[in-house]
Structure 1
Amino acid sequence: MRLDVTPLHPHFVGEVTGLDLRQPLEQAHVAAIEAAIDRYAVLVFRDQPLTQTQQLTLAKSFGPLDMGLKKLKQSQERLEHAELADISNVADGSGRLAERSDRKVVSNIANQLWHSDSSFQKPSARYSLLSAVRVPAEGGETEFADLRAACDALPESVRQEIGGLQAQHYALHSRFMLGDTDYTDAQKQAIPPAYWPLVRTHPGSGRQVLFISVHACAIEGWTLPEGRMLLIDLLEHATQPAFVYRHRWRPNDLVIWDNRCTLHRGRRFDFSQPRELRRATTLDI
């Protein structure tokens, strides 16, 4: 089957209509969505009022689930299912907003840095499925960057320089960058660093990808300062406006993206307003 997809950006991102994702997917639907993700990397589905259980069921259609940073067990669970990540400033089941100093809120601020989910582990993440429950009146958008287009646009001299290089990705690097260092030694060691090539081939599209992220903190075989400067330069290249789509959330939006070829980040918003999203993520296995 074919999906009805409307492109939202010259390089990537498509809006899909005509599917009710609350219903179990047939295998033909799964295959069609995967093919569309290989083409667009990010898919937007409007008007999908998914329950937590329905969101998990949908995610499991695409493979086993990833726990990511939840392995660190930093905070009490608010959601019904441990496999769901609580991307919100909501304190508890009553809907009360958390204080700005709340541990979860402080940790989630790192989501405003450009990253690929779970690039700090092996296996890393494949798809993320983010569902909007409540959104602020303004701000709080999510931006996505196309790492395929970014790779295509690299100068040939840079492609030659980085073609054989591996970057170290560490789970807490982004938190440390923002001064969020309140972790035990056990938490710091819970997820060992992972190494990934800076340039790799996406298995679905066959296109080359500049695999960069704020989780990348060092280049194997390089001094730390030189490696980090290269990573900063590459991240700036990958996230220039030509490669970026900004998604303005509406309640009941669902966005699915491929972490193997995109970056994303949340944007700032007024913390006196609720921003409540739930994410399920699948492993790349």
Structure 2
Amino acid sequence: MSKATSSVQSVVPVLDVNPVSGRIGAEIRGIRLSGELDAATVETIQQALVQHKVLFFREQNHLDDQSQEAFAHLLGEPIAHPAMPVRDGTHFLLELDSARGQRANSWHTDMTFVDAYPKASILRSVLAPASGGDTVWANTASAYNDLTDELRELADKLWAIHNNEYDYSLQQLDPSGKRVTSMVCETEHPVVRVHPVSGEKTLLLGHYAKRLRGHSQIDSAHLFSLLQSHVTRLENTVRWRWHTGDVAIWDNRATQHYALDDYGTQERIVRRVSLKGDVPVGVQGQRSQVTKSL
């Protein structure tokens, strides 16, 4: 057993925390997620989430929409997507159904077009394809640590403009783009965010980042590509093969993710609830700023 595993299990020994890859991801076995978990178990999950960045739970088929929301309340304050309707009968759940074209096959951190984007997301598989449809997560803290000193010094000073002009979920509301344009949010974030719990420095990029402040579009694209390539190095990633009933929870302050669109006409349905986050703080103490809101 690794030191990382034993340190988490020492809080609540009944939890079985198993790292899935070298730098990110752990599967927790022997637990039934619900809104009735005791405080010590919830605290262990919180600690494991900060440590491992993404947690996986198999065979949570007992969960429905209401119990998923009840569980979310234990981990933080649930919030709805700022521009998307919630699923009928729920307060916060966003449903993503491949049959409606909702396939997020690009690297992103959830909702970085707002300033206080979610600290975490809880995703439940309602219908998993027989093959394909995996999700990959990347550790943006280890990506920062991989940079040379010179690149870290550069990244520490950069700011990126994030907006939702391209959002896979918004496009389903109005494929023409007219309504989407009126729903665009824009925020300036530091490219390097200091994690409010662990103190780790993380790269804040992904597909919502459109350009770098003070740099041309061409230079922005080159710098973005350079830094983003460190995020998505295979050493910094974990890939999860979904089964119906699985749940994944990820620290949205220290990860990006990518849902593979490789399952053809098979249907894939997931439901997500996100937890309220705080405004990012950069290396020099500056906070993110909204430049355009709904």
% identical equivalent positions = 28
Distance 1:79 1:270 in 2: 27
Match of 2:166 in 1: 173
1:37 pairs with 2:37: no
1:21 lines up with 2:33 in the alignment? yes
Alignment of 1:100-249 (within 5 A): 104-105=100-101, 108-109=102-103, 111-173=104-166, 182-184=176-178, 187-249=180-242
Which residue among 67, 75, 80 is the counterpart of 1:62? 75
Give the letter aligned to residue 107 of structure 2.
W
| Displacement after TM superposition at 1:184 (Å) | 2.1
**Alignment match of 1:81 (pick from 60, 68, 90):** 90
Q: Distance in 1 between matches of 2:27 and 2:51?
A: 12
- Once residues 145 and 125 of structure 1 are traced to their aligned partners in structure 2, the CA distance between those partners, rounded to angstroms, is 17
Q: Displacement, 1:271?
A: 3.7
Query: 1:183 offset after TM fit, Å?
Result: 2.1
Q: Distance in 2 between matches of 1:79 and 1:160?
A: 47
Deviation of 1:236 (Å): 1.8
Instruction: Give the distance between the partners of 2:130 and 2:257, measured in 1 at CA.
Output: 21
Identify the residue that residue 3 of structure 2 maps to in structure 1: none
Root mean square deviation, CA, Å: 2.1
Give distance in 1, aligned partners of 2:84 and 2:127: 26
- Structure 2: gaps of 5 or more residues: 1-10, 279-294
Structure 2 match to 1:270? 263
In structure 1, C-alpha distance between the alignment counterparts of 2:57 and 2:38, rounded to whole Å: 17
**Corresponding residue number in structure 1 for 2:19:** 7
Count residues with an aligned counterpart.
262
> Unpaired segments of 5 or more residues in structure 1?
90-97, 99-103
Instruction: Report matched runs for 1:90-101 at 5 Å.
Output: 98=99
Whether contact under 8 Å (2:77, 2:275) holds in the other structure is yes
When normalised by structure 2's length, the TM-score is 0.83
Give 1:281's aligned amino acid.
S
